[in-house]
Structure 1
Amino acid sequence: MIVRLGSLVLVVWALGFVWFTVALPGPGPDLRTDGIVVVTGGPGRIQRGVALMEAKQARRMLISGVDRRVRPRDLVAEYGVPRRLIACCIDLGDESVDTRSNADETAAWVARNRYKSVRLVTTDWHMARARFELRRVLGDGVAVVPDGVRSEPSFVVLMTEYTKYLLRRVAAPFGY
């Protein structure tokens, strides 16, 4: 009985993993939102957010999870972010250290600005968990548009992220 149950769990996990890897999101639709949230931690994320801002896809952008030592001038030097965007429209969030706290930091920013829609920019393999965390804290009152930055993740990265996603889905209803 235990072997059968274990086999069933393994098959369900494997089928879910296949779905997870096949369904990695790409760039979002050409749709204007109130704000853009870029979750730091992977290549191309900030550049994607800046490109969306330059295309006037939102009013403001939050870069969540920024190291406290990073200053706006560092964005200019590292990513070529136009100074005019930094001056008017980009907020640096330095309160978060992981995906859960990125969502909390974003929710506070969304509430402060009274936004009804945000575009979430993160790497394709990170989108499911980041979106889950964000929707969990924002609720149904704010639309979240996923915008995945394409990558070439390894099998280990995909497997690790899928497992984290499943664990969060199981733990969140219990307050963890």
Structure 2
Amino acid sequence: MLETESGTNCIIRKATKDDVPVLVRMRLMLQLHMETANERILKHNETWKVGLPQFYSDLIGNSNSLGLLVFDNEKGQAVGMTIGQLIEDREMEVQRYVKINDVWVDEDYRRKGVCSLMVNKLIELYKERGINTFTLNYVIDNLEAEATWRALEFEPIIKSCVATIS
């Protein structure tokens, strides 16, 4: 059991196939949050939404991926999730790194250290496998994400641009 900065007792564990509905719920909330932060983000369609359960089921079954869930121990409910995926690319100088794909913390648990505990646990588990390089993307104008990633020592190094040309 872990304690957050605010004193909330949490449990972090690996996600299982039984957790797919929780992962889907949190990913949909993450998508809405990103779209709210920056309305220009490219939006997913209904086909993507319908495919999320299979996507997470496949991801959990993949040995290169790791999903973690954080539970409020007192309430017994999932309050956060993160997904990491090991990338192996022989054409890169760093040939093995982890792409952190999804990170979500329910609103009532933000700014309490839940995200830090969860991401640090993900990093720790991959470091045990010899991985020490981690990458992620976040939406410009998502001020919470920007502050969180800077606090966790992630440094922005690239911007992605979108143009809709008539």
Query: TM-score scaled by structure 1?
Result: 0.29
More strand by share: 2
Query: TM-score scaled by structure 2?
Result: 0.31
